[in-house]
Structure 1
Amino acid sequence: MISKDELKTMSRKELEKLLNNVSKALASAKARDQREAKKAAAKAAAEFGFSLGEISEADGTVQKKAKAKKAPKKPSKPAFANPEDKTQTWTGKGRQPNWYRAQIAAGVEPDAMRI
C-alpha cells in the first residue's frame, strides 16, 4: 500500500500511471464481483427450481430504465400582431419576423403592435 508521503513525492507522470492502474484494477474487481453475484443468484434460483431469467421475467424484478417522457410544449401566446395583417402574429420570443422589423423601421412603436 502506498502512503500519503510516498504520493507526495511522486511525479505527475507516476501519479497518472498509478491512477490508470487503479482504474483498471477497479473495473476488473467490479466485473469479478458482478460475475460472482450473478453465480450466487443463479444458484439460489436453482435451489427453488428456477433459472435467473425465469424469475426476472415472471416477477418483473429486473426493470429496464424507462426514458422520462417530457410533457409536450405548449405554444406561446402571440404578443404582437401586424397592424396591416392581423393574421401575422409573433410571441415576442426568438427571431423577429420581417413584418415586425419593417414596422419598427417605419417608426411604429412596439406597444402599438402589442395584442
Structure 2
Amino acid sequence: MTVDLDRLSLKELKSLQSQIAASIASFEERKKKEAVAELEEKARSLGFSLNELLGVAKSRRLAPGKPKYANPANKAETWTGRGRKPRWFETALKAGKSLDDLAI
C-alpha cells in the first residue's frame, strides 16, 4: 500500500498517525497474548503452570474487613482498622478519645 503523504493535510496526517499507533499497540498486544498462550501450553504439557515456573505466587485477596471503630458523631462512618486512618478517627484520638471509646 502506497500513500502519497505530501498530498495529505495536517489533519489527515495526524489521523493517520493515531491510527498507526493504535494498530501497532494492538499488534503488540496480540503477539504478547499469543506468546503467553504458547508458553502456558508448553508448561502445561510438562506438568506445571507458567506461574510455578516463573516463581510467581498467587495473589491473595483479603476479605472485606468488618468495622471495628465508629465515629461517635456519625455512627455511619466506620473503619476496619486496616489501611489509612480516617480523619474523624485521628481527630477523635487527638481530642482525647481512646480506642475503646471508638470501638464498636
Structure-2-length-normalised TM-score: 0.51
Residue 2 of structure 1 deviates from its aligned partner by 2.9
Q: What root-mean-square deviation, in Å, do the aligned CA atoms of Structure 1 and Structure 2 show?
A: 1.3
Number of equivalenced pairs? 56
Q: Deviations over 1:77-104 (max 9, x none)?
A: xxxxxxxxxxxxxxxxxxxxxxxxxxxx
Picking from 26, 29, 52, the partner of 1:28 is 26
Aligned to 1:49: 47
Q: Deviations over 1:64-86 (max 9, x none)?
A: xxxxxxxxxxxxxxxxxxxxxxx
> 5+ unaligned residues in a row in structure 1: which ranges?
59-115
Structure-1-length-normalised TM-score: 0.46
Aligned to 2:5: 7
Counterpart Cα distance in 2 of 1:15 and 1:2: 14
Rg (Cα) greater in structure: 1
Residue 28 of structure 1 deviates from its aligned partner by 0.7
> 5+ unaligned residues in a row in structure 2: which ranges?
57-104
Identical amino acids, percent of aligned pairs: 32
Counterpart Cα distance in 1 of 2:36 and 2:10: 39
